[in-house]
Copies of this chain bind each other. A is one copy, B any other.
Amino acid sequence: MVGGGRGAFIGAVHRMAAVLDGQIELVCGAFSSDPEKSKLSGEDFFLPSNRVYDSYEEMIKTEKQLPLGERMDFVSIVTPNHVHYAPAKMALENGFHVVCDKPLCFNMEEAYELERIVAETGLIFALTHNYTGYPMVKQARVMVKNGDIGTIRKVIVEYPQGWLATKVEDAADQKQAAWRTDPTRSGIAGAMGDIGTHAENLAEYITGLKISEMCADISTFVEGRLLDDDGNVLLRFENGAKGILHASQISVGEENNLNIRIYGTKAGLQWFQQEPNTLYVKWIDRPMEILRTGVGNLYNESKAHTRIPGGHPEGYLEAFASIYRNFAFCVRARLEGTSVDPIFMDFPSVSDGVRGMNFIYKVIESGKSAQKWLNV
């Protein structure tokens, strides 16, 4: 693992998600750019001191020299955006598969370069757009693919949060807010990169449609903040569907309210990340149905990502873990020369990452443009 030492948020999430299904073990790490902090974090995780490294460079170099079966099987990168590219590149070039937090990297050049390296090395690369790991997101995706809801006409995807409604990044203990609002660490976008890209990924994942045009109104509401904290975007999809995407970190009182509505010619679908085990299906010709994780005759893709019976709520960590588990199945199959059930070959790829970076660049460009529609 690269990053994720004491005080980090997403590193702990990655660790819990990785081990949940008993397929992955944390064996080593460079948990901080501060070697002392890395060392202490390694102790927290009960790692032998010789597997806790001062830097990711050292980790990759040293682990590579360990015998197969003893060395790490892949690298997880859980650092801020500006420290995704270099460790990912080095890991891939040294033969390690990679799991990388989103967004893919810091800018488009890095994105294209990573895509190229992954293609060249043929290694496995997973990007943790974790929200697509939920069982009811899988269900929605297959319903769309199977034509259950007809032709899609309208998509509304929202991602409001409220935690950056004031200038919290100025406080000493707000490490999470600080790097996300800092263009030298986060990139050209704030909210649109941090969460807007999750919304874009979710919409395209479920609908199977690509956004073809957008028209954005991007704002920074908190005085003195250097990156956007709110954005409203009109969308047009390749098939003629229309849509709206909005993401915000100044929507006071909202927690992490990613949600999506998709209206087809036969039915509408609605899903809320905060109540993730419920999928609302609004039929054109019969009563609304409530589909629930683990209950009744769902599609196999949904069942394959469900661990416990209906009514035992699965949450964020389980969805995140499904990405790790699927990735682990693929890595193991590669190591063992076996094949994987295609149902598990389902996690965001480096290309999804490039697509996400492109979304970020386009939405910021559109926000600055006087032109109505921008082709994506």
Which residue numbers of A lie inside 8 Å of B, CB to CB?
9, 12-13, 15-16, 19-22, 26, 45-46, 149, 153-154, 156, 160-162, 165-166, 215, 217, 219, 221, 230, 232, 234, 236, 242-244, 246, 248, 250-257, 261, 263-268, 273-277, 281-292, 294-297, 307-318, 369-373
Contacts and interface: CB of A to CB of B under 8 A. Distances in A.
B230 A252 contact: no
Interface of chain A: mostly helix, strand, loop or mixed: loop
B236 A234 contact: no
A1 B326 CA distance: 26
A9 to B, nearest CB: 7
A308 B313 contact: no
A329 B252 CA distance: 37
Given A244-B244, A289-B288, A317-B314, A153 B250 contact: yes
A287 B282 contact: no
A255 B295 contact: yes
A295 B20 CA distance: 25
Closest 3 CB pairs of A and B: A253-B282, A255-B311, A256-B311
Contacts of A263: 160, 162, 248, 250-254
Contact of A307 (B21, B257, B317, B318): B317
A311 B274 contact: yes
A243 to B, nearest CB: 7
Nearest to A134: B313
A252 B264 contact: yes
Which of A234, A255, A284 has its CB near the most chain B CB atoms (within 10 A)? Answer: A255
Which of A15, A296, A370 has its CB near the most chain B CB atoms (within 10 A)? Answer: A296
A22 B15 contact: yes
A270 to B, nearest CB: 9
Contacts of A217: 215, 234, 236, 242
A289 B289 contact: yes
Given A19-B19, A255-B292, A230 B153 contact: yes
Contacts of A266: 252
